[in-house]
Amino acid sequence: MTTADPIDGISADPQCIRIVQVSDTHVSRKRAYFVDNWDVFVDEMSRTRPDLIVHSGDVAFDGAADEDDLAFARSEKDRLAAPWLAIPGNHDTGESPLAIRLQQPINSERMERWQRHYGPSRWCRDLGAWRLIGIDTALLGSGHPEEEQQNQFLERSLRNRSGRPGDALPASTALRERRGRYRIYRCGRPVCAAWAAA
């Protein structure tokens, strides 16, 4: 997806936008203790009603190996009272070769499972005066064919900001700017660069 669409149901005041970022919920039908934690989060989001919830990875406990974990975690998102966006984490689609620990490298099959339940693993959304960009950090430095497509997506999304002041990238990914050129670092190594034209 390369367009930047307003999120359905949000008519955010550009001066006051409330975004909740959550990660590592590890929701799983087989591990009820994570669902107990999720119940508390769902209740809190019903009470506070943010403009947007961004889930920055590890929505499921073992989605990289068990599609039911991804499907169950996705069904649980329907309980949220606010709009939400998600990007995958290593427990969802596997790991980048730059940071392999679970012996579950990202691959096409795992990425297709994510798309079946969540849609694209990258997105660009405008919220009030802000542009939010979510990318799949496991692709960075992976050599997977999707990596180049994601790099091009990121470049377009940064270039076409329409004067918006901010970009949001997942935690654990550093974004550095120098004279309009952005460089993304993963585990201290540059993995992607993109121009942001004025």
List the CATH number of the domain containing 31.
3.60.21
Instruction: Evaluate whether 133 touches 168 at the Cβ level (below 8 Å).
Output: yes
Q: Residue 66 carries which side chain, given as an amino acid letter?
A: D
How many domains does the structure of the chain reveal? 1
Domain that holds residue 184: 5-195
Helical axes 108-118 vs 67-77, angle rounded to 10°: 20
Q: For each of the chain's 198 residues, which pLDDT tens digit applies?
A: 223 344 444 444 556 788 999 999 999 999 888 999 999 999 999 999 999 999 999 999 999 999 999 999 999 999 999 999 999 999 999 987 777 777 788 899 999 999 999 999 999 998 887 888 999 989 988 889 999 999 999 988 888 876 665 444 444 344 444 444 445 554 455 555 444 433
Q: Residue 164 carries which side chain, given as an amino acid letter?
A: R
State the Cα–Cα distance between residues 180 and 177, nearest whole angstrom: 6
State the Cα–Cα distance between residues 96 and 99, nearest whole angstrom: 6
pTM: 0.76
